[in-house]
Amino acid sequence: MATDDAIFLSYKENISLPTLRLYGWKPAAISIGYSQNSQDLFDLDACRREGIDVVQRPTGGGIIFHDRELTYSIVLSQADLGLNLGVKQSFETITSFLLKAYQDLGATAVFAKDAFKASLSVHSIAAFCFSRNEEYDILVNGKKLGGNAQKRRRRIILQHGSIPLAFDKEKAGSFLREPGILKSLDTTCIHEIAKEKTDFDRLSQALINAFSSQFKVILKTEELTTDEKLLAEELKTKKYSNIKQDAHATCSPAGMA
């Protein structure tokens, strides 16, 4: 989270280029939206015993259990897209590359708003990010695949999202104070929807190819800059090592900040 934030802040100050970052989590961890309270949601003692870190994201949305997954983050400006869009519309534009990537893996993915045009029913706010079908959530066979969230400053956008390769509902629920929240969880994962066996590397390449094709750009693989590394270390120490304990647990529409 500190690295995502460092790239975002560096780009805002014209230090960094537009960036697509792909990464995983080891060991597993839990992230919560910036306005959520970890003590209300988790058995933190159980998290500590199992070596599960809890981190507060710079974006909104609900709880995400990061285990066997790929996470992407994108930092760019509206000008990079050549568009002047509101938050919801920018979600549709930016996240469109995911639909293409899933299609290339053999799955038909749609936005919830398109799957339920006739009778779109936006679910009541729930703590677990994967349990809501909002307008721009991505559905495969009627089930939600992953979650996405945004942060904006001065028309600069940080969007990141979680794409589970597999999802262990029982394991995720074992750290919640109310495990029952997962009973009605209607989600899917890459191992269920891909036509062929797909690991982290293959999913990464599918995302890179889809992003390049969808936005007509050439991606260049690079390490973090020195400035980004230094800022990430500073943010890790000062901002992300201690999550909020007094914020009220809420979720914003479509996981957006």
The residue among 222, 209, 256 whose CA lies nearest residue 88 is 256
Quick check: is 255 in a domain?
A: no
* Contact status, residue 98 vs residue 207, Cβ threshold 8 Å: yes
pLDDT digit string (tens) for the chain, length 257 residues: 999 999 999 998 888 889 999 999 998 998 888 777 666 777 888 888 888 888 888 888 778 889 999 999 999 988 887 767 677 778 888 999 999 999 999 999 998 888 765 344 444 334 445 444 477 889 998 889 998 888 888 788 999 999 999 988 888 878 877 656 565 568 899 999 999 999 999 999 999 999 999 999 999 999 999 999 999 999 999 988 865 443 333 222 232 22
Tell me the three-class secondary structure of 24-86, residue by residue.
CCCCCEEEECCCCCHHHHECHHHHHHCCCEEEECCCCCCEEEECCEEEEEEEEEHHHHCCCCC
| Catalytic center residues | 129
Quick check: is 22 in a domain?
A: yes
Residue 225 sits in a domain of what CATH number? 3.30.930.10
Quick check: is 254 in a domain?
A: no
Quick check: is 247 in a domain?
A: no
The HSE-up count of residue 83 (CA atoms within 13 Å, CB side) is: 14
- Provide the domain limits for residue 211: 2-242
Quick check: is 35 in a domain?
A: yes
Quick check: is 130 in a domain?
A: yes
Quick check: is 257 in a domain?
A: no
Residue whose pair of structure tokens reads 């509902």 in the numeric block: 169
Total tally of structural domains belonging to the chain: 1
pTM for the predicted model, two decimal places = 0.83
Quick check: is 252 in a domain?
A: no
